[in-house]
Chains A and B, each alone.
Chain A
């Protein structure tokens, strides 16, 4: 299925924001809408921020507070001047007629805005996240309509975002959905445990291949070779030396910082005498 139009890249911040504003919606509102901010590239649109806009929707009319939207955009622009309005989002599964109207509002703000739907009510059992661009259709001159064509959606994040996301991912496993921030050595332990898990999975696969249960895949075999060869072959003596010098450095630094701390503590006590 080939898709026209730019690829939409979304940051997790945006989705979390949308979910949060859905949870805080007014009584009686079935969905929330808001503006999407981001940057436009030649082939992709990167959505990096968003804010919700109050709106009223009833059977036959819809009212969006555009003043509010403009104000918020100005405020956001002060912080990050590179972000522009690139479209709008709505929670909910379908695209309604009201969406067309709202899309028209936004066409005045941005050229060719994209429309993002996030299914927060989980109507189909999953949270569908889709993006659309509008296209004219119909017979020119007579009945002209608007069609929303879907776009590919990708999720991207900065490195630090990914680390934050890792931590957040772990909260979903706890029963109270909470997680404290762990401290130094236990983090290394955690990372080591994760690698160990991955290694056991790989080992299980290898066992299967060896015992003939699964046919060997050459590309996987090549990756395994890479993996094993990544551990550099250094003579044991050289490695001992390197390891020891590193350990010595670290121990010395620890000793010095402890000394400094003791020193300033002493200083305090003396001053307060």
Chain B
């Protein structure tokens, strides 16, 4: 069961830039200080990022909205998507609001995404909500989000707005006890390659890109304003639901099974790609050999003819005789490798959590 490429996965390809650069500056200066800025000493955790964005700061409201959107609209294996709004402060990207994107349905062919976006942003501007596009979010199924569509979308976003990110929300992992929200950007190297659209092996070799430096993860911090903190205190008082500790649930083999299944599918895909590449390189080398032989034969013949006093045969255009085989695009391989890497990471996290839980259960049992 291929759960990672739902057939209706459409991406926000029709993206348009924010209103104007002037607007952005004006809004940044007039932003209300009531949603206070945090202390500048909040150093980023991974200091090796040399991108313009070192940390992402999300408001609690955005988190709640994303969760709600998935909960209500994403019950199938469809991905839900939406737009993130906010602004850039120093090297931080602050995300202050978001709005969801409606699902694509086949009977809604004349639905204009761009118009929807424009309307939304215009309306939000009226109520003083930051209307600057700073990225987009997507839900994922068991962590399978590294795909061509995501790459294309993120590339077009990052191309137009340098600091944009894609937030990946994993609802299944969240339901197991801990909020799983990650922010990714494309590395500058990958941006270069996408710009050139040069996906041949030579191109990738030149840029020396591996699957590890395709995406970079940006650390996320959640921040709430004072008023929302007050709200939190209120709700804490009033909510009567007892704490359910799903995090300590032991019976999570179902999740593990699914993840492994998806992992195996990806590995199969990668295998096919590798086979393709191998046949290609074998063909190439065979062709090289043939070329050599041909040239040698030619030279021999020419030498013979000269010795016999006849004019040499014309040099034929070798490239026309031996057309080099098409180099297979390596981008898919990279993506699959990246996806496999992601799955492995998830599986390892999961198993380490489970090991901890099992040892706790052992300790509990030991006292009996």
Contacts and interface: CB of A to CB of B under 8 A. Distances in A.
Question: A and B bound?
Answer: yes
Interface of A: 11-13, 15-17, 19-26, 48-49, 51-54, 65, 68, 71-72, 75, 78-80, 82, 120, 122, 126-127, 129, 155, 157-165, 167-169, 171-172, 176-185, 187-189, 191-192, 194-195, 198, 231, 233-234, 236, 239, 243, 246-247, 249-251, 253-254, 257-258, 260-261, 264-265, 267-269, 271-272
Interface of B: 32, 34-35, 38-39, 42, 45, 57, 59-61, 63-65, 67-73, 96-97, 99-103, 111, 116, 119-120, 123, 126-129, 171, 174-175, 177-179, 181, 201, 204-205, 208, 210-212, 219-236, 238-239, 241, 243-248, 253, 256, 260, 263, 267, 270, 274, 277, 330, 333, 337, 340-341, 343-344, 347-358, 360-362, 364-365, 368
Contacts of B72: 48, 80, 82
Contact of B61 (A20, A163, A178, A246): A20
A250 B222 contact: no
Interface residue SS majority, chain A:
helix
Q: Count chain B CB atoms within 10 A of each CB in A11, A20, A176, A234 and give the residue with the most.
A: A20
B74 to A, nearest CB: 11
A174 B248 CA distance: 25
B44 to A, nearest CB: 11
Contacts, number: 267
Contacts of B248: 188, 191-192, 195
Contact of B128 (A24, A71, A185): A24
A16 B229 contact: no
B344 A257 contact: yes
Given A155-B239, A247-B358, A261-B341, A160 B174 contact: yes
Given A176-B38, A231-B365, A253-B260, A167 B222 contact: yes
A191 B245 contact: yes
Nearest to A126: B234
Given A159-B175, A168-B224, A176-B39, A53 B230 contact: no
A138 B252 CA distance: 61
A75 B219 CA distance: 32
A185 B241 CA distance: 26
Given A167-B222, A192-B248, A23 B127 contact: no
A164 B179 contact: yes
A188 B211 contact: no
A165 B226 CA distance: 16
5 contacts: A158-B71, A171-B232, A180-B45, A181-B181, A254-B351
A68 to B, nearest CB: 6
Given A160-B171, A161-B68, A176-B42, A264 B35 contact: no
Given A164-B63, A171-B232, A184-B350, 15 more contacts: A19-B225, A51-B127, A65-B126, A68-B126, A160-B175, A167-B222, A171-B60, A178-B38, A185-B353, A188-B248, A188-B353, A192-B360, A247-B358, A253-B347, A268-B210
Contacts of B103: 79
A73 to B, nearest CB: 10
Nearest to B245: A191
Given A79-B73, A169-B236, A243 B358 contact: yes
A166 to B, nearest CB: 8
Contacts of A21: 127, 129
Given A127-B231, A168-B224, A257-B347, A20 B97 contact: yes
B368 A264 contact: no
Nearest to B339: A264
A68 B67 contact: no
A13 B340 contact: no
A164 B174 CA distance: 8
Contacts of A155: 235, 238-239
A169 B174 contact: no
B241 A162 contact: yes
Nearest to A162: B241
A176 B38 CA distance: 6
Q: Count chain B CB atoms within 10 A of each CB in A48, A159, A265 and give the residue with the most.
A: A159
A38 to B, nearest CB: 11
B87 to A, nearest CB: 13
Given A127-B234, A195-B245, A23 B34 contact: yes
A168 B236 CA distance: 11
A15 B365 CA distance: 43
B365 A25 contact: no
A79 B72 CA distance: 10
A187 B177 contact: yes
Nearest 5 pairs between A and B by C-beta?
A257-B344, A24-B128, A78-B102, A172-B229, A268-B210
B128 A25 contact: yes
A24 B32 contact: yes
A178 B68 contact: no
Contacts of B354: 246, 250
B210 to A, nearest CB: 4
Contacts of B39: 176
Contacts of B333: 271
Contact of B330 (A23, A176, A258, A271): A271
B61 A13 contact: yes
A267 B59 contact: no
